[in-house]
């Protein structure tokens, strides 16, 4: 059993700074240096931050990360495997294969993947089948490049028009069950299940063996997607951390900071996450 004094590494996905990072106002290197100074063990990025995969660009980003002295732990990407058009679903597989290769070039360990959007007219059975087929088809490329894919209980990114098809907890669990044993793990987002209106503590025991990384997030209220600074909402992160400790979790706590409070929100979320983990 893990005790409160044992260090668990912490990284952060700075959603509050997505516009600046995606537009190049803040570089990946600048985010890495600032993250290191804020006490993070690693940083996370969105694939929207990565401008291209040319050798010169990849070398520059790797040099910036080396100079900052901190690694990228997880990248997030947005495959839409539930798209109603079969040709587009095939494109999504190719897009994800490219992202896997880029993560390998940047020595990123984890790549967060999704089921796809809840497109109008896509039924439960077809959507689950499309998602599982697309995710499993990506395993060979992930294995080839040494990337661990982690599937998330997701809500909705700004990159999409619709909410995640697997936002309903029962659909997420059905897809996760069909991925068990495939090599695809779980990136458990603590706040998204709260936002859907369910209790994440009811879900944890059903997927505990698959969790590789944890997106630490917090919601202002149950049943509504309204992110706040970690520790200032209703998501039971303290109880979640206690569960994880009891079950021997020693992976990464990857803060998903989406409060809209910029650098201050990130700093407060880092401090609160560390305290919650140590106290749990």
Q: What is the DSSP letter of 41?
A: S
Strand-pairing partners, residue 111, are: 75, 149
| Mean pLDDT score of the chain | 96
For residue 3, what pLDDT is reported?
A: 39
1 pLDDT tier (thresholds 50, 70, 90): very low
pLDDT tens figures, 239-258? 999 999 999 999 999 999 99
Which of 248, 265, 249 lies closest to 257, judged by CA? 265
Residue 2 has pLDDT above 80, yes or no: no
Q: Where are the alpha helices (DSSP H) in the chain?
A: 18-22, 28-37, 55-68, 86-105, 124-137, 139-145, 169-179, 190-196, 200-207, 237-246, 262-279
Question: How sure is the predictor about 6, in pLDDT bands with cuts at 50, 70 and 90?
Answer: low
Residue 5, pLDDT above cutoff 90: no
What is the per-residue pLDDT for 60?
Answer: 97
Dihedral, CA of residue 171, residue 176, residue 177 and residue 182, to nearest 10? 150
Do residues 49 and 66 touch, judged by C-beta distance below 8 A? no
**Interval 148-177 mean pLDDT:** 95
**Percent of the chain surpassing pLDDT 90:** 96
pLDDT reading at 34 higher than 80? yes
At 47-71, the pLDDT tens digits run 999 999 999 999 999 999 999 999 9
Model-level pTM?
0.95
Which residue is listed with tokens 């970690």?
Answer: 230
């Amino acid at each position: 059993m893990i005790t409160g004094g044992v260090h668990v590494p912490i990284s952060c996905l700075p959603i509050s700074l997505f516009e600046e990072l995606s537009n190049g106002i803040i570089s990946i290197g600048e985010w890495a240096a600032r993250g290191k100074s804020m006490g993070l063990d690693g940083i996370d990025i969105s694939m929207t931050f990565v401008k291209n995969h040319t050798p010169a660009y990849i070398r520059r980003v790797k040099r910036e990360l080396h100079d900052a002295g901190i690694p990228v732990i997880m990248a997030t990407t947005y495959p839409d495997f539930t798209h109603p058009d079969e040709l587009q679903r095939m494109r999504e597989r190719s897009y994800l294969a490219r992202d896997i290769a880029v993560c390998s070039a940047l020595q990123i360990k984890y790549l967060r993947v999704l089921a796809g959007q809840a497109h109008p007219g896509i039924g439960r059975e077809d959507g689950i089948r499309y998602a599982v087929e697309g995710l499993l088809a990506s395993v060979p490329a992930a294995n080839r490049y040494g990337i661990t894919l982690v599937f998330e209980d997701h809500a909705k990114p700004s990159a999409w028009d619709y909410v995640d098809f697997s936002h309903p907890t029962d659909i997420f669990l059905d897809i996760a069950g069909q991925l068990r044993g495939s090599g695809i793990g779980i990136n458990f987002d603590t706040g998204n299940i709260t936002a859907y209106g369910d209790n994440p503590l009811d879900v944890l025991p059903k997927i505990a063996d698959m969790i590789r990384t944890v997106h630490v997030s917090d919601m202002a209220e149950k049943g509504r997607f309204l992110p706040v600074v970690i520790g200032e909402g209703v998501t039971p992160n303290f109880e979640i951390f206690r569960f994880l400790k009891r079950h021997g979790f020693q992976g990464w706590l990857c803060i998903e900071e989406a409060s809209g409070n910029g650098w201050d929100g990130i700093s407060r979320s880092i401090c609160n996450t560390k305290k919650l983990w140590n106290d749990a």
